[in-house]
Amino acid sequence: MNPIDDPDAYVLDVAGTIAPGVVTIVECDIEGNWDDKEADGQDGASTAYKGKKLGTFKSRHDLAVDPVIGLDEIGAWPGFVALLESTVAGESPVALDVYHPDLATQGITSATYRKVSALRHDGRGGASAEVMWKAYAPPKPKPAKGTAGSKSGTKNDGRTYGDDKVDEATDELDALLKEGDP
CATH architecture for segment(s) 7-39+52-135: Beta Barrel (2.40)
Alpha-carbon gap, residue 19 to 21, rounded angstroms: 7
CA–CA distances in Å: residue 87 to residues 57, 60, 119: 18, 20, 21
Taking residues 8-22, what's their average pLDDT? 89
Q: Are the C-beta atoms of residues 65 and 77 closer than 8 Å to each other?
A: no
Alpha helices in the chain, H assignment, sequence order: 73-86, 101-104, 164-180
Half-sphere exposure in the Cβ direction for 71 (13 Å, CA)? 13
Q: Which of 112, 130, 114 is nearest to 59 (CA)?
A: 130
What pLDDT does residue 57 have?
Answer: 94
In this predicted structure, the answer to whether residue 120 has a pLDDT above a threshold of 90 is yes
80 burial type by CB count under 10 A (0-12 exposed, 13-18 middle, 19+ buried): buried
> What SS3 state is found at 29?
strand
Write the pLDDT tens digit of every residue in 134-169: 999 887 776 665 555 555 555 555 555 455 666 777
pTM, entire model? 0.66
Per domain, the residue ranges of the chain are 7-39+52-135, 149-180
From the list 88, 89, 105, 87, the residue with the least C-alpha distance to 97 is: 87
Residue 178, pLDDT above cutoff 60: yes
